[in-house]
Amino acid sequence: MKLLAGDVGGTKTCLALVEEKHIVRREVYPSAQFPDLSSIISRFLGGRAQGITRACFGVAGPVYDDVCQATNLPWRIAARVLEHDLGVERVHLVNDFHALSIGITELPSSDLATLHAAPSEPRGPWVVLGAGTGLGEAILVKGPQGYEVLSSEGGHTDFGPRNDLEIELLRFLLSRHRRVSYERIVSGPGLVALYEFMRAREPAAVSTKLEAELAASSEGAAACISNHALAGDDALCVKALDLFVSIYGAEAGNLALKVIAPGGVYVAGGIAPKILPKLLDGTFEKAFLTKGRLSPILERTPVRVVTNPDTGLLGAAAIARRMA
């Protein structure tokens, strides 16, 4: 059986042809340069369905009745329209973190890095969150028919500052936005906003060389900031990434309290593998565990980072295989 799998994000769209659980061809496209998903798929397939019988796409946005209005793109994606346009018998849409969550069940342990070690209860719920263009979250439970995903838009919940610095950050962001969610901070654009916050607090520490680099960076400002933070050669970048990782850990802890997750917390998304050394330095773990009287619950909850960039594709392919 030949399957088409897709991981559709606000920044990039990854498509893959999958046969017998193996990715045989994979391409990445800049999402914003295309008017819709059909255009990307047509480019990938060369206008031909190539014997594909099933397709599944994980899309960054809420999905209702196989229709999704993408959160960070002006795209309305409908599975029945894609079936007609592509000549594929069956197309299914899920939230991107639904596909990612299923993909985690397909991974070997070598594709996971441990942030907080604790015994995992295989039958217990898992929670997944990950920063990229936005902040995705999901819940995974094991039922009689296998793993089931409870979709979530928890990344859009209200940001809750924990100290004076974060209260100051909230005020800074409220001067720009009517409302501040965790996604405004724990995301690629959020890391840039954190750097700008630090720059406003400490103007004397601003590097004109870095400012020029940020303006000219082909990788994007968030990648530039994280690279300098990891290298330790710019104080404001270091502080921005430190605050980013701390708030990331705090929100992971929030999610693990809302859904008691003895199966573990999985940190995914495009950013985590790129800043893995910082995630492993204890900043994330400390923020995750610091929950007052409820800290013992989190001490018993394992936390792992998903390092395989194709996890969403693997999950979409697994869903396509199971389609009747």
Coil, strand or helix at 177: coil
Mean model confidence pLDDT for the chain: 93
The Cα 43–Cα 28 span in angstroms is: 11
What is this structure's pTM?
A: 0.91
Residue 29 pLDDT exceeds 70: yes
Same domain, 22 and 84: yes
Q: What is the CA radius of gyration of the chain?
A: 20
Order across the sheet with 90-95: list the strands. 22-30, 12-19, 2-8, 54-59, 90-95
Q: What pLDDT shows up at residue 216?
A: 85
Number of domains in the chain: 2
Percentage of the chain with pLDDT > 90?
Answer: 81
Model pLDDT for residues 102-137, shown as the tens digit of each residue: 999 989 999 999 999 999 887 889 999 999 989 999
Q: Do residues 288 and 158 share a domain?
A: yes
Residue 283 and residue 302 share a domain: yes
pLDDT score for 324: 57
Q: What is the CATH number of the domain that holds 207?
A: 3.40.367.20
Q: Does residue 143 surpass a pLDDT of 60?
A: yes
Residue 49's CATH number: 3.30.420.40
Residues 261 and 281 in one domain: yes
Q: How confident is the model at residue 53 (pLDDT cuts 50, 70, 90)?
A: confident
In which residue are the tokens 């993408």 written? 70
pLDDT > 70? residue 308: yes
Cβ–Cβ < 8 Å for 152, 139: yes
Inter-residue contact 56 to 320 (CB < 8 Å): yes
Q: Which residues pair with 288 in a beta bridge?
A: none
Answer yes or no: do 242 and 173 share one domain.
yes
Residue 312, SS3 per DSSP: helix
Q: Which pLDDT value is given to residue 140?
A: 94
Same domain, 89 and 140: no
Q: Are residues 80 and 152 in the same domain?
A: no
Cα–Cα distances in Å, from 134 out to 164, 180, 189? 25, 13, 8
The number of residues making up the chain comes to 324
Taking only the tens place, the pLDDT of each residue in 181-211 is 999 999 999 999 999 999 999 999 999 999 9
To which H or E segment does residue 152 belong?
A: strand 146-152
Query: Tokens 């060389």 appear where?
Result: 209
Least confident of 28-37, 39-48, 201-210, 226-235: 39-48
Residue ranges making up the domain that contains 220: 109-307
Quick one: 278 and 261 in the same domain?
Answer: yes
Q: Higher-confidence residue: 219 or 222?
A: 222
Shared domain check, 286 and 177:
yes
For 231-287, the pLDDT digits (tens) are: 999 999 999 999 999 999 999 999 999 999 999 999 999 999 999 999 999 999 999
Q: What is the predicted pLDDT for the residue at 311?
A: 94
Tens of pLDDT, residues 72-88: 889 999 999 999 888 88
pLDDT at site 118 = 95
- The whole-number pLDDT of residue 49 equals 66
3-state SS, residue 127 = strand
pLDDT of residue 123: 82
> Are residues 96 and 134 located together in one domain of the fold?
no
Please check whether residues 266 and 210 belong to one and the same domain.
yes
Whether 97 and 115 map to the same domain: the answer is no
Amino acid 64: pLDDT: 92
Which helix (H) or strand (E) is 213 found in, with range? Answer: helix 208-216
Supply the pLDDT for residue 47: 67
Q: Residues 302, 222, 277, CA angle at the centre, nearest 5°?
A: 35
